[in-house]
Structure 1
Amino acid sequence: MSDARDALGRSGGVGPTELLDEERELVARAVAGDKGALEDVVRRVQDPLYRLALRMTWRPADAEDAAQEILIRVVTGLATWRAEARLLTWAYRIGVNHLLNLKRRTPQETAGLSLDALGEGLLEGLADTGFAGPDAELLAREVRLTCTQAMLQCLERGERVAYVLGEVFELPSREAAWVLDISPAAYRKRLERTRTRLRTFMDATCGLANPAAPCRCARRVAPAVASGRVDPRRPALATHPVSPGGRDLARASAQMGRLHDAATVLRSHPDYAAPRARSEAVLGLLGSGRFPLLADGGSA
């Protein structure tokens, strides 16, 4: 289930109008100083915002930093929310603006890595046989998760976020266009261009998207460990905590196994949870008086 659909599901299955009315009441209480309401707002948006940051920044540590900054901007700007979109959609817009303008670059961005170069590296580094050592299945999944993250990093940021919103989070095009502040037609054109690039790359390379393609995760484990891209003692993504009730690694992998296409492979990450210490730190900062009162309309 996508993050956007998660937000609706947690509301008890109500329709968009009822959800907005409920969110208006919640935000009004948070802005008025209701600590419990503010904590509820944070709980609703923290994990989806972290997952957005993770897909854009690649590494959990960088995603934690970015998501914390975005969360501060969201909660200090609550008084500016006018319910023109759902609360999570509005939070995505704040997050996207922050992530598109990050000065810190991912390793792939710094190196100028392209999909063509990534594909060549994957095929040149294939082992003759699948990894058979300890935790073989876990490490093969870590390779898959790391590799799909690397694919996204080969895209220009505007293409990357368009793909993540539309294909990974499955936002409707009108909603995703609002997040990006572009027309729905422009968004659909950008998404289709990016979708075609990734589909072409994966059909030619990835055995998960196309069984006839040469690359296999199990054959990438040994090279990935040798190069340091995967730490067999501490897999960063395969053992990452997930949201309560969210998809774990096994469920995400099972969903991917039923379909063979690029979008399903890139979508099939677990529902990663944001580190709770970060959100608690944000709430602590808000209570410290270091930020303007919510009722004064913090800047988003």
Structure 2
Amino acid sequence: MSERTGTEAADSLVTGPDPEELRLVARAVDGDQAALREVIGRLQDPLYRLALRMVGRPPDAEDAVQEILLRVVTRLSTWRGEAKLLTWAYRVGVNYLLNLRRRSPQEQEQIGLDDFRADLADGLAAADYEGPEAALLAEEVRLSCTQGMLQCLVREERVVFVLGEIFELKAAEAAWILGTTPAACQKRLERVKQRLGTFLRSTCGVVEPKASCRCPRRVDKARALGRVDLDNPAFTAHPVSPGGRGVAEAAAQIHRLRDAAAVLRAHPDYAAPQAKIDAITGLLTSGRFPLLE
């Protein structure tokens, strides 16, 4: 008997679906529109959060999650229960996001963590911002900044960190999504964690009190650069999933843990924009789109 490959071994460690998931998807594949809507409802917010962490900005994530959901739904009949439905959907989403032609501003300009550190030092105020909505703007800076840090990683590094450290998936599950082995996945994750940890400890005052950068001291510069907008904050005013973690709960996690991973993980449980989801659900259930082939 031949030795199994590492990927096959990872497959055997991934938790499969429960019977209810299998029945739900079978109904959707058979044309039950209510079941299809439920499948979309279960997947839309986690897939949106995956897209947002990978592309950085809500408008780009909105476009990406629509494309990912199209791919997921039209491939539902190929799902055989080899992993949980969401795990399988993550695999579809990751494949799309790694091959996305559109590049974030950091990707276009090839900005790395050293460049990002220099950018943060430029225009850092001597004192905290104390103008209108000071707390909200400081939190918007933090959320925007941590998104920017992720964009400084190449996509293959970014997705490993997102799956393993932000979504806290086990190595076997992340490896299955990425089509690699748990050992290879864990090795890459440790390298990325080390790089980000070094960067944050040398730069971020949230992680290291002696570091120079403070979110309240970046407000004026961030506003001048158009990175935060008091009238239209991208992250602090972003809708969250029903019952999900809001901005305050996410920020509290940092102060409990005070480590590099917590700073990058501590975002609200963002919800996919419902208008976009309604539009794509309407398309998928209209009969005008080749469903479930």
Q: Taking structure 1 as the reference length, what is the TM-score of the superposition?
A: 0.91
Shift of 1:245: 0.2
Correspondence 1:61-140 to 2 at 5 A: 61-140=59-138
Q: Which moved more, 1:121-130 or 1:161-170?
A: 121-130
Q: Give the letter aligned to residue 150 of structure 1.
A: G
2:158 is matched with 160
Distance 1:125 1:283 in 2: 45
Q: For structure 2, which runs of at least 5 residues remain unmatched after alignment? A: 1-14
Q: Distance in 1 between matches of 2:64 and 2:233?
A: 21
How far residue 290 of structure 1 moved from its aligned partner, in angstroms, is 3.4
Match of 2:195 among 194, 197, 208: 197
Farther off after superposition, 139-148 or 26-35: 26-35
Is the 8 Å Cα contact of residues 248 and 271 (structure 1) preserved in structure 2? yes
State the aligned residue count. Answer: 279
Does the 8 A contact of 2:33 with 2:285 survive in 1? no
Pick which of 133-142 and 207-216 moved more. 207-216
Post-superposition CA distance 1:20-55 (Å, at most 9, x none): 211101101111111111111111110000000001
Instruction: Check conservation: 2:73, 2:291, Cα contact below 8 A.
Output: no
TM-score (norm 2): 0.93
Which residue in 2 is equivalent to 1:262? 260
Shift of 1:125: 2.1
Which amino acid counterpart does residue 140 of structure 2 have in structure 1?
Answer: E
1:9 corresponds in structure 2 to none
What does residue range 1-300 of structure 1 map to in structure 2 within 5 Å? Answer: 19-294=17-292, 297=293
Unaligned runs of 5+ in 1: 1-15
In 1, Cα distance between the equivalents of 2:200 and 2:153?
A: 14
Q: Distance in 2 between matches of 1:254 and 1:136?
A: 18
Match for 1:40: what amino acid? E
Contact 1:46 1:71 survives alignment (8 Å): yes
Q: Deviations over 1:182-214 (max 9, x none)?
A: 111110111111111000000000011122211
Is contact 1:76–1:291 with CA below 8 Å preserved after alignment?
no
Q: Equivalents in 1 of 2:96, 2:143: separation in Å? A: 24
Q: Which amino acid aligns with 1:125?
A: G
Contact 2:250–2:268 (Cα < 8 Å) also in 1? yes
Superposed displacement of residue 277, structure 1: 1.4
